[in-house]
Amino acid sequence: MICKYYQELDMASDNDSGLIDKNPDKFFYRSVIFKAFKIRTFNEIEIKLDLFDYKATISDNNIIITNDIFELAKVHGYTKFNTRQDSLLKQLYLENKENTVSLIEFYDMYWEYLHPKSPLYDVKNSPMKRIRLRIPSFNEFNKFDSNSVFREEVSLLYQTFMENYNQELTNIEILEGVTVFDILKFQRAFFKVSRIYLKSLIDYGYDKDDLFEISLQSILPSFTLNDLITNASYFSGLNTEICEKIINHITVDMKGEDEFIDIQYSPIIKLDKYYLVLPTVLSSSNLIRSIAFRNNVHLSIFNNTDFMINNLENAFKAQDFKVKKDFEFGKDQIEIDLVLYKDKELFLFECKNPYHPVSDFELRNTYDHINKAFLQVEKFKSIIADNNSFKNFIHELNKFGFNIDLNNVNVNYGIINANRALKGFTKNNIRVYHANELINFVNEGKFICYNVEYSSWEKDEFDVKDLLNYLDGKVCNDLWESFKPYHYSLTYREKSIELHSFNLEYEFFKQNIISKYKVTCENILKK
Taking only the tens place, the pLDDT of each residue in 367-383 is: 999 999 999 999 999 99
Amino acid (1-letter code) at residue 509: F
Coil/strand/helix, residue 240: helix
Considering 294, 312, 345, which residue would you say is the last residue of a domain?
294
Same domain, residue pair 329 and 214: no
168 in the same domain as 105: yes
Residues 242 and 311: their CA atoms lie apart, in Å, by 33
Residue 444, Cβ neighbours under 10 Å: how many? 14
Task: Please check whether residue 409 is in contact with residue 346, taking contact to mean a CB–CB distance below 8 angstroms.
Answer: yes
313 falls within a domain = yes
Q: Indicate whether 284 and 322 sit together in one domain.
A: no
So what's the pLDDT on residue 505?
93
Predicted pLDDT of residue 21: 61
Contact (CB, 8 A) for 483 and 501: no
Q: How many CB atoms lie within 10 A of CB 491?
A: 11
Using a cut of 0.95, tell me whether the model's pTM lies above it. Answer: no
pLDDT tier for residue 82 given thresholds of 50, 70 and 90: confident
Q: Tell me: the pLDDT tens digits for 209-267?
A: 777 777 777 777 778 999 999 888 888 889 999 999 999 999 988 777 666 677 778 88
Predicted local distance difference test score (pLDDT) of residue 271: 81
pLDDT score at 12: 46
Print the domain residue range for 377.
300-443
Between CA 315 and CA 305 the distance in angstroms is: 17
Q: Do 256 and 307 fall into the same domain?
A: no
Q: Is residue 71 part of a domain?
A: no
User: Does residue 219 come out as left (phi exceeding 0), alpha (psi in the -120 to 50 range) or beta?
Assistant: alpha
Are 416 and 342 found together in one domain?
yes
Full DSSP string of 292-352: HHHTT--TTEETTEEHHHHHHHHHHHHTT-EEEEEEEETTTTEEEEEEEEETTEEEEEEEE
- Any residues with CB less than 8 A from the CB of 11 and at least 6 apart, and which? 5
Give yes or no: residues 142 and 226 share one domain. yes
**Helix ranges (DSSP H) in 176-275:** 180-204, 211-216, 225-236, 240-249
Return the minimum-mean-pLDDT range out of 29-33, 116-120, 227-231: 116-120
Q: Domain for residue 287, yes or no?
A: yes
Are 267 and 307 found together in one domain?
A: no
pLDDT, residue 11, reads: 47
Q: What is the rounded distance in angstroms from the CA atom of residue 387 to the CA atom of residue 219?
A: 69
Residues 244, 246, 251, 256, CA torsion sign:
positive
Residue 253 in any domain: the answer is: yes
User: What's the average model confidence in pLDDT over 500-513?
Assistant: 93
Q: Give the chain's largest Cα–Cα span.
A: 86
Lowest mean pLDDT among 214-223, 273-282, 300-309: 214-223
Please state the separation of Cα 443 from the chain's center in Å.
23
Would you list the DSSP string of 127-194? SS-EEEE---SS--S-GGGSS---HHHHHHHHHHHHHHT-S--TT-EEETTEEHHHHHHHHHHHHHHH
Check pLDDT > 70 for residue 290.
yes
* Nearest alpha-carbon partner for 430 in 467, 367, 375: 375
- 247 occurs within a structural domain: yes
> Does residue 462 lie within any of the structural domains?
no
Return all residues near 379 (Cβ < 8 A) that are at least 6 apart.
334
Q: How open is the CA angle 177-182-188, to the nearest 5 degrees?
A: 155
Helix axes 180-204, 225-236, angle to 10 degrees: 100
Q: What is the Cα–Cα distance from 484 to 505, expressed in whole angstroms?
A: 7
* Judgement on whether residues 326 and 287 belong to the same structural domain of the protein: no
Q: Does residue 250 fall inside a structural domain?
A: yes
Specify the pLDDT at position 208: 67
pLDDT tens column, 315-334: 999 999 999 999 998 777 78
* Chain center to CA of 332: 38
Q: List all residues 6 or more positions away from 235 whose beta carbon is below 8 Å from its beta carbon.
A: 144, 145, 188, 189, 190, 192, 193
Domain count within the chain: 2
* DSSP bridge partners of 179: 173
pLDDT band per the 50, 70, 90 thresholds, residue 19: low
pLDDT given for residue 301 in this prediction? 84
Alpha carbons within 13 angstroms on the beta-carbon side of residue 148 total 14
With respect to residue 128, please indicate whether it lies within any of the assigned structural domains.
yes
Residues 274 and 173 in one domain: yes
DSSP character string of 413-477: EEEEESSSTTTT-EETTEEEEEHHHHHHHHHT-EEEETTEEEE-SSSSS--HHHHHHHHTTSSS-
* For range 475-493, the mean pLDDT: 92
pLDDT in tens, 188-206: 888 888 888 888 878 877 5
SS (H, E, C) 301-317: EECCEEHHHHHHHHHHH
* d(C-alpha 250, C-alpha 309), whole Å: 31
Q: What is the pLDDT of residue 333?
A: 77
Whether the Cβ atoms of residue 451 and residue 524 lie closer than 8 Å to each other? yes
pLDDT tens, position by position, 448-465:
888 888 999 999 999 999
Of 443, 477, 503, the domain-final residue: 443
Do 430 and 338 belong together in one domain? yes
Q: In the chain, pLDDT over 90 holds for what percent of residues?
A: 46
Q: Which of 294, 320, 355 is the last residue of a domain?
A: 294
Q: How far apart are CA 510 and CA 522, in angstroms?
A: 14
DSSP 526: G
225 and 187, same domain (yes or no): yes
Residues 267 and 404 in one domain: no
The secondary structure of the chain in percent helix, strand, coil, rounded to multiples of 5, reads: 45, 20, 35
